[in-house]
Amino acid sequence: MDNIILIEFIIYFVVIIAIGYMTSRTKMDHAVFLLGGKKLPGWVLAFSERATGESAWLLLGFTGFVFTTGLAGIWVAAGIALGIIFAWLFLARKFMRETDKHNVLTLPDYLAVKFGEKANLIRWIASILISCFFMFYVGAQLAGAGKLFLTTFEMNETVGVVLATIVVLAIAYFGGFLSVVWTDMIQSIMMLVTLCVLPIIALIYIGTHDLSISQSLVEAGESFNSWFGGATGFAIGVLFFNNFSWFFGYLGGQPQLSSRFMALKNEKEAKQGISVAIIWTIMAYTGAFLIGLAAIAMYSQGSFADVETILPHMILDLLPPWIAGLLLSGIMAAIITTANSQLMVVTSSVSEDIIHKTLGMNLTDKQLLSLSRIIVLVSGIIGMLIALTSDSLVYLVVSWAWAGVGCTLSPAILMTFFWKRYSGIGVVATIISGFVFTVLWISTPLDGIITSRFSTFFIAALFGIVFSLLFPDKKTAE
């Protein structure tokens, strides 16, 4: 059985590396390497954005979360789905137009250009914020790969992490953004197939083995059968906001997602992307939620040393090897695509925002391209070391990165787009306060009461508003 699945994994790795290599044969310069040069169709960017946005945390983290919480896990899916839909409907075209207008390649550079008086300071702090959190984000994805190899082949997790790192680096190194997006598209489809096929198979199994999801929810614990986790009064609000709070990270502040909006060519491509992204989101989150509920009926609580391995266990238990290999490859696809995108964000922040723009090093385009590839390799190795030395859960690490980056930069983007009195000092205050309060919040018991994903967004927004009013830019002070 393992041999069949292993062969399918090998084929999958060879195919996506080959796709990455083929796309790298496009005429490559620094701008194309970092943002695709406006060469990509809208529907491809939508598939890529969705695969990048969900990662291993959807297939491993969220399904495990639903298994341990029951019906109340729906609010995580609701918050994320609404955030995705809002971003595509109201922000994607704005990003596209602003990118064309200001000729920028990265999110930090866009903020810097908009607030020129503090441009270099904004580039520095935004790049440091992104690099710090995203290195752990990459590590979380590679750790997820180790878990998958352990569950599937009983392979040492370290070997699994190293193999995944090699594949990630190969794709990103060859063709940069173009390679990542085209391989994302294939992998996004694989993820969707896994999330749609497995719940159908699981529900058939439950029906033919006289199992009951509703009865299993009652037996799992008193909170499992409640849409609000058995909470009452004020506790309902806390539970709702803690789970729903993923919404705030989707409002323009995730650079690995916003880069897909920035890469859109025109209005027609944007409309294609909107349709694909919304349909993908509804199908994927419905499937993931049903997988978590089905697992409650199939397995008793405490059956797994690590609940984030439920999905691969279900696949191996329910399906013949050749189908199991295809669906397990869908999990690996989620891991690879997100790790690739995180590496590209870190690379663009260092090479474009810091070395090229802030330090003003006089490098040729060819030198910048070579530098970006070196940064890809170095960043990937650092992410691998984090994965090998960290015991943090995929869901938890991604949650923290979501707060530290997404919920910090989202208010900065929203106010830049829609509030004319937002100032350069306000941007700096937003980013610094978001970074500091995320670190402080997750280091205290406060995070167990109100998640940092919620608190960071509003604290960062408050600091941005107050400091913009106290220290307006010259053009708004007149």
212-216 contacts at long range (C-beta below 8 A, 24 or more positions apart): 212/297, 213/293, 213/294, 213/296, 213/297, 215/297, 216/296, 216/297
How far is residue 72's CA from residue 308's CA, in Å, rounded to a whole number? Answer: 18
By three-state DSSP, how is residue 300 classified?
coil
Contact 377, 169 (CB under 8 A): yes
What is the pLDDT at residue 267? 93
CATH topology of domain 2-477: Sodium/glucose cotransporter (1.20.1730)
Tell me the average confidence (pLDDT) per consecutive run of 10 residues in the chain, 478 residues long.
77 82 74 83 94 78 89 88 93 94 91 90 90 80 77 78 85 80 85 91 93 90 79 60 78 90 94 96 95 92 80 88 82 77 85 84 81 87 83 59 85 94 95 91 81 88 96 68
Give the residue from 184, 221, 374, 196 showing the smallest Cα distance to 279.
Answer: 196
DSSP string, 168-236: HHHHHHHHHHHHHHHHHHHHHHHHHHHHHHHHHHHHHHHHHTT--HHHHHHHH-TTTTSTTTT--THHH
